[in-house]
Amino acid sequence: MSYSLGRCLRSAPVTSLCCSAEHVGTAPLLRHHCPPPSTRAFWSWPSSRPYSVVRPAIVSPQRTVPDAIRQPEYATTSCPARADRPMLHRTPDTTERMRRACQLAKSVLARGGELCKEGVTTDEIDSVLHEMILQAGAYPSPLNYRKFPKSICTSVNNVLCHGIPDNRALQNGDIVSVDITVYLDGMHGDTCATFAVGEVNEEASRLLQVAEECTQAAIASCAPGMSFSVIPTSVRSVLRDTSFNVSPNITGHGIGKFFHMPPVICHGSPAEAGVMETGMTFTIEPIITTGWPYHRTLKDKWTLVTMDHGRAAQFEHTILITDTGVEILTA
């Protein structure tokens, strides 16, 4: 599950329609300028696309979790604990618990991909995967995290991330990002992939390929002692010869005992200071868009959609920095 910096990177000093109007400089690799003022009305954008622009639908009641299942600190309060430093896995026990959580997340994601078929609603996918997670003795990490109402995130077409499962049925030609995080044995494991529903057009097929290449290139750049800046550099190197962009203010994050914790992993904007250390676990999850990478947040305070209704794809892994390189825990 991605982490938002809560700020907007712009290439021109115009009024922001994103979650914040804080301008922090010019984002690298943005090939499109912001729309002129007369065309910035979100819902009035022309619709001549080979896919459906997704709008909010009906969300079913929040699902329950048995008391017997170990739950994170925010399960009843919706308020996550704050972590001020990265978690370093220095013992075989914590490392193995992370592996188990991440392997469960991988299995749940694979099942989610099988369910991404025409006519299936994202709420139905949430229901099936919720039960699968509970059967494994785990807690679905997104559930009630800062009041998120569902157990997974499903982001369809123009939704960048944090899409809330609802009663909209998937359509032939859609693409849908299924984001899974589970809490097992006191550790969170996080992964995501974007799936094609039926037959998608050439642009969508290429978008999924490039998005996965960006994630793999970023992971390959990681090793102990490496600066976090190698991650956005690797993503930019993949995108350089394409027409796609990377969302500059949706980041990866440290993960382990807590769902979100340091370090913040930037994919398209300048990385935070510091270097990777042996024992660190964090997510790499760039979101790649067909058009402008700018977003707005819908009234549900979670769903992030592209400003121009362009499509977005995301592939995410949780990784562990080892003595010699990197281990992909969700592979």
The string of pLDDT tens digits covering residues 58-91 is: 999 999 999 999 999 999 999 999 888 888 988 9
Looking at every residue in the chain, the average pLDDT score rounds to 87
Q: What is the pLDDT of residue 254?
A: 97
What pLDDT, in 10s, does the model give residues 130-150? 999 999 999 999 999 999 999
Is the pLDDT reported for residue 37 higher than 50? Answer: no
Amino acid code (one letter) for 85:
R
What pLDDT, in 10s, does the model give residues 146-157? 999 999 999 999
Matching residue, tokens 């992964």: 191
Q: How far is CA 263 from CA 8, 193, 252, 260, in A?
A: 20, 22, 8, 9
Q: Which helix (H) or strand (E) holds 89?
A: none
Q: Which residues of 240-272 are buried (b: 16+ CB within 10 A; e: fewer)?
A: eebebbbbbbbbbbbbbbbbbbbbbbbbbbebe
Is the pLDDT reported for residue 1 higher than 80? Answer: no
